[in-house]
Amino acid sequence: MSGKATRQAFGESLARLGETHPEIIVMDADLAKSTKSEIFAKKFPRRFFEMGISEANMIGAAAGMSFAGKLPFICSFGCFVTGRYDTLRVSVAYAQANIRIVGSHAGLGIGDDGHSQMGLEDIALMRALPTMGVFQPMDARETELVMEYLVNEWKGPAYLRTTRQALPDFYPAGVPFRPGKLLELYSPSSGKLDVVCIASGAGVAEAMQASQALAGAGIKMGVWSAHCLKPYDDETTLSIASQAKLMVTVEDHSVIGGLGSCVAEALAKTSIHPPLMKFGVQDVFGESGEPIELFEKHGFSARAIVQKITQKLR
């Protein structure tokens, strides 16, 4: 179950892909050590540009480079780079610039850095932009697969959300990557499900732990992972919704505009579906603390998930 931070997997993948894709260039806003773009910078110093604490300028410069045939990866903390929303909206999304925006240090999981550096609204912002793809891998292997897809297949702008903290390895060995599709991670061996859970990013580890605890209490919860939040997999969501009494989502992001909203929007397309519980940050700002303490306080630790689901199904 050991693993690494998805920011680390991103940096390693970027440097590896740079070997066969000379069009890749990287820009960072004075956070290369934290975002792990420094791994690329050490390997390809002439293709790395330190832009300083000037995210809007970095975004504009990257847009220009993309129209000159380059594939720019622009890196910063998720809250900082998406905070330059007007520039992203016009210079990237409206222009359909072929750029990869990488927002690291996502969610409450950054811990002691506190609310000013926590990206808790970034997915909602990026999902609202036409032409923008939004991706959040759950572990190192899925990060590698998403990176390969973003370099080799995706066209137009895309946002990749990564974590500061290490995440357990859950991607099943030998399972082919299906871009944009939900991935089933756990299902009880027999009987009808009580709960269908869709999780993303750091939320997957909490959901998987909760599923084991619920199984011990006689509650069967299947877990699916969503690495892509736009375009979202409505088809699979609607298919699995009919399997249970309750649907839940788990994410280290605001419950407004993130994964929970993706699922709610999908369910709104049908008149018959189970009730939905959204586990995540409940329309408040973050704060400093250990990640597990913050997950617990904000109600989406594995323990909190188990408690609330058990109460709901009694």
What are the residues facing 28 on neighbouring strands?
50, 75
The verdict on whether 55 is a catalytic residue reads yes
Q: How far, in Å, are 151, 187, 209 from residue 175 at the CA level?
A: 20, 16, 21
Q: Alpha-carbon distance 217 to 200, whole Å?
A: 24
| Predicted local distance difference test score (pLDDT) of residue 188 | 84
| Burial class of residue 314, CB neighbours in 10 A (0-12, 13-18, 19+) | exposed
pTM, two decimal places? 0.96
Considering only the top CATH level, what class is 6-161?
Answer: alpha beta
Domain with CATH 3.40.50.920 in the chain: 183-313
Residue 1 has pLDDT above 80, yes or no: no
**List 12, 55, 121, 144, catalytic entry:** 55
Residue-wise pLDDT tens digits, 239-275: 999 888 999 999 999 999 999 999 999 999 998 899 9
Query: Taking residues 84-103, what's their average pLDDT?
Result: 98
Tokens of 94: 């409206």
CATH of domain 183-313: 3.40.50.920
| Predicted local distance difference test score (pLDDT) of residue 314 | 83
Domain with CATH 3.40.50.970 in the chain: 6-161
| Predicted local distance difference test score (pLDDT) of residue 2 | 67
Q: Alpha-carbon distance 15 to 147, whole Å?
A: 11
Q: Alpha-carbon distance 137 to 82, whole Å?
A: 18
DSSP E strand stretches across 21-157:
24-28, 48-50, 71-77, 100-104, 133-135
